Each structure stands twice: as C-alpha cells, then as structure tokens.
Structure 1
Amino acid sequence: MKILFIGSRLYDDIDYYVRQKGIDSILTESNEEAINLDLPDQVFIVPRGMDGPKQIAVTQNVDAIVPLIGIDPPLIQVAQMKEELEKDYGIPVIAANVRAVELTSNKINTKKFYADIGVATPEYQILNSPDDLTLGFPVVLKQGEGQGGKDIKIAHNLEDVNDYFEEYSYALCEKFIEGSEISIEVLGYNGEYVALSPIYKGETTLEGTHPLNKVKLGPSLIDGLDNNLIQHVAYDVARNLDSDGIFEMDFMYSHKEDQLYAIEVNTRPNGTRYLTSATCGINSLCELINMACGDFSLKNIFDKLEYYYSTEIPIGNYHGPEVNEPKKSFDNNDFVVHGPEGYQRITIRAKSKKELENLINELI
C-alpha cells in the first residue's frame, strides 16, 4: 500500500501507525525547512498549492492520498483535487468534498446550512454598518472566514461595534451565548458516520478567552445536557454534509435556555484530537489512514472504543517523566505532551476521576 501524505507538520502524530501497517509513505511539503521531513520513506518539496501533490500522486502511482492540513485556506484546493483525482484516476483522497468545504469554511454559509437542516444556532444578522444592529448586547462579531479566534470580538456596546468597523467592512453579528463550550469529532467515509466523545472546553467568557488557554475535559459532563444529544446532532450535521474525513464541530450549551446551539464545523484535523483519543481510544488521524486502506468501518470503531476520564492542560514547557514510544499515542501512555516549546499542552487519561486527579498531581 502506497499513500501520499500532504503536509509534514502533523506527520509525527501518525508515523508510528504508518510503519505499523507497513505502508510505503510519500510526503509532499512546500517548506524545505519544515519539521518531520526525516520520517516518511520519500519526500518531495513542491510549490504551494495542490498541483505538485497531484502530479506526484499520478507519477508515483499512489493508492490513496491523506492530506494532513490543519488550516482552512488550502481546503478548497484539496477538495477540488479530490474530485478530479477520484473521477479521472480513481485515486481516493481522504478529505472533504467541494460542497462540504464551501458550506463549512464560511461561517455565513454554515449558518444557512444549519437553518436548512433544522439545527439550532445562535440568533444572528449580517451587519454592513453599525447602524444595522438590532440584537441586544453583548454580541459576538466575526468575519465569514477565519479560524482559531481570528477576527472575533465580543462587543459590549455600540462603541465596540464602531471600533470593529474601523478594521472590517462587514460583520457576522451573533447573539452571545452564556454557557458551556463543547467540541466533538465525527468520522465519515463512504456514507458511514460515527460521532466520538464530546469534549468540554470550558465556559464562555465576556473576555473571549481562547480555548487553548483553558483546561479541557473528556468526556463532557455538563449538568442537564445528555451527551447522546450532542452526538445525535453532530451525526446529523455530518450526514447532511455527505462527505469524507474528519468533522470537528463546536457547540454551545445555554444552561439558562436549556438549549444546545451549533456554532461551526471544521473539515480538517483539529486541536481536540488528543483529548478525543485519550477519552475514547480512537485516533482520528489514524482513522484517516484506515479509510485510505479500506479498514474503516463502524464495527471496527465500536470494537476499539474505550472509556476514560481525561483532561488537557496548558503547561508552557513540560519537565516531567519521559513519555513512552510512540510519544504521540496513548497505546503505551497515560499521557501525551504536544505543541511547540513554550506553548506545550499535556493530555492525561485515567480509568476514574480519582486516578486522573492523582496522575495530574504526579505530572504537573
């Protein structure tokens, strides 16, 4: 089996699994100084964009392509490449299709999609001027495109809105929801979808604290909210997107309204994947490889499901005990350290809440 991987930044997460399955690995990367270039069997440095990976895929006669791209801008090019290679060459590309990317990469399109399929989302309006505002404060101002909290502002008054419009010509204006933030990964391939463990990312704040700066917990255990409901809604969203790969969905739960609101969908590897893997034993990046190899099925997922309590904590730099090999896997570890130096996080799991608390005290 020969698989082409696009992008090296996440490759060390799955290198052990690629070798375990005996896959002949080829990687394309546009940055010759990028990390992890020593890990695959072959590496090709190509220009930015998908023309280079597409040419390598055809000339190297690969069996499948697995993009390892964790940012939004290239996703539409990946989707276009997917449709061309699958139609003209029969090479599966384990990624979202054009329709799914167009619906999820723009927050306004996502809002309309939620409305079309009957999924609740916070009340919103499109502002072309501060004078258009009819929602009551506080509100959340966003741009249609962007990730990681970029271009987002919580406005407490009209002055905040005016300040936002000094930089932007329009805004997606959304009612601020006071409550719990939740993420969930859904895996999908060939019409089969499975929603994994919901992850609790903390309470919303009027300061707009970024999720990376919060302690996260798995599984999500929120009073009044059934995890089965989160999984059901996430499954329904993925089924209506009708595409392949990883879907990470963000939700808000309003305790006051007893309402689950859908916020956005990402069709790419995401920041909660370590916590999901720690909580339920399913590594979403490894499942992309299983999709490429024809080994993905709901039965295989359910057979591998495990049940742990887990947490993810920002630590800056880790100085504790050494992690076992493979370092990015929970196969032989109760904890995994990830992220760049100075911004590292530790994800820890245990069979009970008490064991998790003890392990945290040992490691932090």
Structure 2
Amino acid sequence: MKVLFIGSRLYDDLDWYVKSKDIESILTESNEEAINLDLPNQVFIVPRGMDGPKQVALMHKVDAIVPLIGIDPPLIDIAHMKEEVETEYGIPVVAAGVRAVELTSDKIKTKRFYEEIDVATPNYQILHSPDELALEFPVVLKQGEGQGGKDIKVAKYIDEVEGYFNEFDEALCEEFIEGAEISVEVLGFNGEFVALPPIYKGETTLEGTHPLNKIKSGPCMVEGLDNNLVQHTAYKIARNLDSDGIFEMDFMYSRKNNQLYAIEVNTRPNGTRYLTTATCGVNSLCELVNMAIGEFSLANISNKLQYYYSAEIPVGNYQGPKPNEPIKSFEHNDFVVHGPEGYQRVTARANSKEELDELVDKLT
C-alpha cells in the first residue's frame, strides 16, 4: 500500500502507525526546512498549493492521499483537488469536500447552516456599524474567517464595539454564553459517521482566555449536561455536512438555560485530538490512515473504544519523565508531550480520577 501525505508538521504523530501497517509513505511539503522530513520513505519539496502533491500522487501511482493540514486557508484548495483526483483518477483523498469546507470555513455560513438543520446556536446578527447592535451586552465579536481565537473580542460596552470597528468593517456579533466549552471529534468516511467522547475545555470568560491557556479534561463531566446529547448533535451536524475526514465540533453549554449551543466546526486535525485519544483510545489521525487503506468502519471503532480519565495541562517546557517510544502514542504510554518548546502541553490518562491526579502531580 502506498499513501501520499500532504504536510509534514503533524506527520510525527502517526509515523509509528504508518510503519506498523507496512505502508510505503510519500510526503510532500512546501518548506524544505520543515520538521519531520526524515520520517517518511520519500519526501518531495513542492510549491505551495495542491498541483505539486497531485502530480506526485499521479507520478508515483499512490493508492490514497491523506492531507495533514492543521490550518484553515489551504482547506478549500484541498477540497477542489479531492473532487478532481477522485473523479478523474479514482484515488481517494481523505479530506472534506468543497461544500463542507465552504460551510465551515466562514462562521456566518456556519451559523446559517445550523439554523437550516435546526441545531441551536447563540443569537447573532451581522453588524456593519456599532449603531446596528441590538443584542444585550456582553457580546462576542468575530470575523467570518479565522482560527485559534484570532480576531475574536468579548465586548462589554459600546466603546469596545466601536474600537473593534476601527479595525474591521463587518462583524459577526453573538450573544455571550456563560458556561462550559466543549469539543467533540467526529470521524466520517463514505457516509459513515461516529462521534467520539466530548472533551471539556473549561469555562467561558469575559476576558476571552485563549484555549491553550486552559486545563482541559476528558470525558466531559458537566453537571446537567448529557454527553449523549452532545454526541447526537455532533453526529447530526456531520451527517448533514456529508463529507470525509475529521470534524471538530465546538459547543457551549449554558447551565442557566440548560441549553447546548453549537459554535463552529473545523474540518481538519485539531488541538483536542490528544485528549480524545487519551480518553477513549481512538486516534483520529490514525483513523485517517485507516480510511485511506480501507480499514475504517464503525465496528472497528467500537472495538477500539476504551474508557479513561484524562487531562491536558500547559507546561511551557516539559522537564518530567521521558515517555516510551513511540513518544506520540498512548500505545505504551500513559502520557504524551506535544507542542513547540515554550508552549508544550502534557496530556495524561489514568483509570480513575485519583490515579490521574497522582500522575499529573508527577509529570508537572
């Protein structure tokens, strides 16, 4: 089996799995100084865009293509390449299609999509001027495109809204939901979808604390919230997007209103994947490989499901015990260290909350 991977930054997360499956790995990358270029069987440095990867795939007659892109801008190019390569050459590309990317990469289109499929989302309006504001404070101001908290502001007063419009001509304005932030990964391929256990990402704050600075945990245990409802809603969203790959769904739960609200969808590998793997034993990146080689199924996912308590803690620079090889796998580890130096995080798992607390104390 020969698989082309696009992008090297995430490749070390699954290199061990690719080797365990005896897959011939070919990788394309646009940055000749990128990390992980020593891991695949072959590497090709190509110009930015999808024409280079497509040509490499055709030249080497690969059996499947797996994009490993963790940022939003290239996703639409990948989606168009997917449609062309699958239609004209019959090579599966494990990624979201054009419709799914178009609906999820623009937060305004995502909000309208939620309304169309009858999924609750915070009240919102599109502002072209602070004078149009009709929602009560506090409100959340966003741009249609962007990830990782970029261009998001929690405004408590009108002068803060006016300040936002000093930089932008338009804003998606949402009511601020006080409550729990939740993420859930959904895997989809060939019309089959499975929602993995929800992850708790902390509480919403008026300061707009960045997710990387919060301690996250799994499974989600929020009083009053039924995790089955979260998974059912995430499954409904994925089924209506009707595409392939990984979907990360972000939700908020208001204890005051006893209401789950859908916030956004990412159609790419995401930051909660380590916690999801630690919590339930299913590694979403490895499942992309399984989709490529014909080993993905709901039955296989069900057989892999495990049940752990997990936590992810920001540590800056990790100085604790060294993990076993492969260091990015929970196969032989109860913790994984990830992220760049200065911004490293430790994700740990254990059989009970008490054991998890002891392990976290040892590691941090």
SS of the residue aligned with 1:169? coil
Cα distance in 1 for partners of 2:357, 2:43 equals: 43
CA shift for structure 1 position 361: 1.4
Cross-structure match for 2:17: 17
- Please list, as runs of the form range in 1=range in 2, the aligned pairs for 1:97-108 lying within 5 A after superposition: 97-108=97-108
Query: Which residue identity does 1:217 align to in structure 2?
Result: S
SS of the residue aligned with 2:307? coil
Cα distance in 2 for partners of 1:82, 1:37 equals: 24
Cross-structure match for 1:293: 293
CA shift for structure 1 position 176: 0.3
CA shift for structure 1 position 362: 1.3
Cross-structure match for 2:77: 77
Cross-structure match for 1:323: 323
- Alignment of 1:145 onto 2:145: yes
CA shift for structure 1 position 68: 0.2
Cα distance in 2 for partners of 1:156, 1:354 equals: 39
CA shift for structure 1 position 313: 0.1
Cα distance in 1 for partners of 2:8, 2:144 equals: 28
SS of the residue aligned with 2:236? helix
CA shift for structure 1 position 34: 0.2
SS of the residue aligned with 1:208? coil
Cross-structure match for 1:231: 231
Query: Which residue identity does 1:136 align to in structure 2?
Result: E
SS of the residue aligned with 1:249? strand
Cross-structure match for 1:215: 215
Query: Which residue identity does 1:229 align to in structure 2?
Result: L
Cross-structure match for 1:354: 354
Q: Which blocks of at least 5 consecutive residues in structure 2 are unaligned?
A: none
Cα distance in 2 for partners of 1:300, 1:249 equals: 22
Q: TM-score when scaled to structure 2?
A: 1.00
SS of the residue aligned with 1:181? strand
Cα distance in 2 for partners of 1:215, 1:255 equals: 20
Cα distance in 1 for partners of 2:182, 2:211 equals: 10
Cross-structure match for 1:30: 30
CA shift for structure 1 position 250: 0.2
Cross-structure match for 2:304: 304
Cα distance in 2 for partners of 1:358, 1:128 equals: 52
Cα distance in 2 for partners of 1:126, 1:109 equals: 11
Cα distance in 2 for partners of 1:270, 1:143 equals: 20
Cα distance in 1 for partners of 2:278, 2:90 equals: 35
Identity, in percent, stands at 75
CA shift for structure 1 position 85: 0.2
Q: Which blocks of at least 5 consecutive residues in structure 1 are unaligned?
A: none
SS of the residue aligned with 1:229? helix
Cα distance in 1 for partners of 2:360, 2:160 equals: 40
Cα distance in 1 for partners of 2:361, 2:77 equals: 45
Cross-structure match for 2:273: 273
CA shift for structure 1 position 246: 0.1
Cα distance in 2 for partners of 1:315, 1:120 equals: 35
Cα distance in 2 for partners of 1:92, 1:49 equals: 18
- Number of residue pairs matched? 364
CA shift for structure 1 position 80: 0.2
Cross-structure match for 1:335: 335
Query: Which residue identity does 2:252 align to in structure 1?
Result: M
